[in-house]
Structure 1
Amino acid sequence: MAAAEKEKKGPNKLIIIIVVMGFVMMIGAVTMVFMATDMSVSDVLAKFQKHEEYVMPLESFVVNLETEGKGTTYLKTQLSLLYVEEDFGPVLTNKTSQIRDIIIKDLMEYKPDDLLVNGGLATAKVKLRSSINTALGKEMIKEIYFTEFLVQ
């Protein structure tokens, strides 16, 4: 029986060594990823934390689109702005006129075909978000939602 007990202890040590080496290799791989991407643990943890989201609907816009003198084409749209920090709400409310002005100026630069092609709205959203955040001096707007969209 003593020989049988020694045989059982041998594989247990081997399994423990394999598990420990696997764990060490996994930690090394994670460390390499963090070093290569300049990410920190707090960046990763922030992705898993639940953030409150707030939406600020704006009134409708009616905008002349760029047609290069070939008649008139209008865009009627309504937008909502998504932000994640509650403190931004009063700031955005106070700057609603400035935000509306930026949106109108940006939308007037588009041609109808630019907005109606596949991916046109996504491009417009990115440009609008960038313009608004630049004017506000801070990354306040996380997303823009078109809640109404009509080109005529």
Structure 2
Amino acid sequence: MAQPAEIEEKPGADLEEHPAAPKKSPLKLILILVVIMAVLGGGGFLAWKKVVAPMLSAKGKLETAGGETKAGTDSAEAALLGPIFVLDPFIVNLAGDNGRRFLKITMDLELGEVKLKEELDRRLPQVRDTILVLLSSKTYEDIESVQGKFKLREEITGRVNSYLQSGKVKKIYFTEFVVQ
């Protein structure tokens, strides 16, 4: 009878069938982590420069029309826009309703001339006072409609211009208008 063939086992046979996973170099891992950190750091820096820093520096500063314009705005339109003076928000109780309603309003003043910024800086307490008195004299019914907001804008412009000597405020822009 025939004898079954013996299977020879080679000492390295298992290794050939299941090759060992190549060793990962810690240097390669560190290099990948450094690249990822550099990319994230660069992205954070760009986000800070483009988003956060302009928001922090815009408060109370003068921006000229020749400066940065928002994406999508017409350059001819931006050239017509005068210097902008940003006022801090106003929060006042409205007249009537026994003080149950209040108005939070933020506005920017478009100036006729750049030199007017210095005068506004000097007269800021007077300007804020006259605006606060005017706003607190208004009722909800006075300012709830679009026409009421336009009228309020004209009244504020007139009162602010009455204090100014070196130029005039061309227009007022409400950037926040909340009644509660």
Bin of the TM-score, shorter chain as denominator length? 0.5 to 0.7
Q: Secondary structure at the match of 1:79?
A: strand
Q: CA deviation at 1:118?
A: 3.1
**For structure 2, which runs of at least 5 residues remain unmatched after alignment?**
1-78
- Please give the residue correspondences for 1:2-151 in structure 2 after superposition, counting only pairs within 5 Å: 53-67=82-96, 69=98, 71-137=99-165, 139-151=167-179
CA distance in 2, matches of 1:55, 1:75: 23
Residue-pair matches, total: 102
What is the CA deviation profile of residues 35-82 of structure 1, one whole-angstrom value per residue up to 9, with x for unaligned ones? Answer: xxxxxxxxxxxxxxx76610001001101110153x521000101111
| Contact residue 65 and residue 111 of structure 1 kept, 8 A | yes
Q: Percent identity?
A: 28
Q: Secondary structure at the match of 1:105?
A: helix
CA distance in 2, matches of 1:85, 1:110: 30
Shift in CA distance, 81/136, structure 1 to aligned 2, threshold 3 Å? same
Q: CA deviation at 1:135?
A: 2.3
What is the CA deviation profile of residues 64-111 of structure 1, one whole-angstrom value per residue up to 9, with x for unaligned ones? Answer: 110153x52100010111102111111111211111111101111110
Q: What CA RMSD, in Å, does the superposition of the two structures yield over aligned residues? A: 1.8
CA distance in 2, matches of 1:118, 1:62: 20
Q: CA deviation at 1:146?
A: 0.5
Q: Which runs of 4+ in 1 moved over 4 A?
A: none
Shift in CA distance, 60/52, structure 1 to aligned 2, threshold 3 Å? closer
**For structure 1, which runs of at least 5 residues remain unmatched after alignment?**
1-49
Name the structure with the higher helix share. 1
| Contact residue 116 and residue 167 of structure 2 kept, 8 A | no
User: TM-score, structure 2 length as denominator?
Assistant: 0.53
Q: Secondary structure at the match of 2:154?
A: helix
